[in-house]
Amino acid sequence: MINTAVKQEFGSNPLKVRDTNHYQAEYVHSFVDKWDQLIDWDRRAESEGDFFIRLLKEQGAKKVLDVATGTGFHSVQLLKAGFEVTSADGSPVMLGKAFENARKRNHILRTVHADWRWLNRDVHDYYDAVICLGNSFTHLHDENDRRKALAEFYATLRHDGVLILDQRNYDAILDHQIEPRHNFYYCGDNVRATPEHMDESLARFRYEFPGEEVFHLNMFPLRKQYMQRLLHEVGFQRVTTYGDFKETYRESEPDYFIHVAEKR
């Protein structure tokens, strides 16, 4: 269903909204239009460097499925680096923006509108790598949905394929009450992204843009070890976790964890 709403709608008790399908209603046009201000492509490219490109090349990957395309940042970086990329997302609003962003940079995106839980209904091919980046997996509120989505990612990978999935370091926020820094993914200067509410099943973040425009995302706070366990349980044989873009890290330090889950 295409979301044509102008405003986000969380109802009378926003803290009650813990629903996997709600991402569609959260990524309204006005928020999607602001998203690139939040992530600032140039500064994001600078902070990530060639981390993902190197990882994918080390894995021998050529054909990549970006399941959380968003506004297209990683799809475009990978196309530029010579990978064969298919760009999927469950939000048609996001996919439209991604296509437009890629066109501006002289690339044509091959897009697929697909919800992860039924990915293989819409994606009929095999990939060397699936990427799910930018703290996207956190949108799944139910464990069944998380298992189903991972099983769908697994099924679209070749026998020696790899899944690269990142997540915000929610452990640090849940356990130590520290506010994460925003120097990696939220690179925009004028944007404040803060956790407005945190409990074991809800991370409600507030995104403030200049002009007092405010948006929210209600997400599930994935703990790192839980995520690693799920990846193993759906069948991935080896899971390596990086902190931000490094292999060694102090537990409370990174803003993000990046899991590299290998099928073989």
Among 134, 188, 221, 243, binds ligand SAM (CB under 6 A): 134
**∠ CA 120-90-126, rounded to 5°:** 30
Distance CA 26, CA 207 (A): 12
Nearer to ligand SAM, 94 or 231 (CB): 94
39 contributes a contact to ligand SAM by CB under 6 A:
yes
Structure tokens at 42: 């140039």
Distance CA 120, CA 155 (A): 8
Give the burial class of 80: count Cβ atoms within 10 A of its Cβ; 0-12 exposed, 13-18 middle, 19 or more buried: middle
Nearer to ligand SAM, 89 or 128 (CB): 89
Among 22, 139, 146, 259, binds ligand SAM (CB under 6 A): 139
Other Cβ atoms closer than 10 A to 32? 21
CB 122 within 8 A of CB 114: yes
List the beta bridge partners of residue 204: 197, 218
Binding mask 64-103 for ligand SAM (x = CB under 6 A): ----x-xx-x---------------xxx--x---------
Nearer to ligand SAM, 193 or 198 (CB): 193
244 contributes a contact to ligand SAM by CB under 6 A:
no
Which residue, judged by CB position, is nearest to ligand SAM in the bound state?
134
Nearer to ligand SAM, 160 or 205 (CB): 205
In sequence order, which residues have a C-beta less than 8 Å from that of residue 173 and are 6 or more positions away? 179, 180, 195, 198, 203, 221
The least CB distance from residue 19 to ligand SAM, in Å, is 11
191 contributes a contact to ligand SAM by CB under 6 A:
no
Distance CA 90, CA 152 (A): 14
52 contributes a contact to ligand SAM by CB under 6 A:
no
Nearer to ligand SAM, 17 or 159 (CB): 17
List the beta bridge partners of residue 193: 207
Residue with tokens 């292999």: 247
Compute the CA torsion angle 227, 255, 164, 262 (nearest 10 deg).
Answer: -60
Nearer to ligand SAM, 36 or 84 (CB): 36
135 contributes a contact to ligand SAM by CB under 6 A:
yes
Among 77, 86, 101, 136, binds ligand SAM (CB under 6 A): 136
Site for ligand SAM in 114-133 (CB under 6 A): 115-117, 133
Nearer to ligand SAM, 116 or 127 (CB): 116
Residues engaged in binding ligand SAM (CB under 6 A) = 23, 27, 39, 68, 70-71, 73, 89-91, 94, 115-117, 133-136, 139
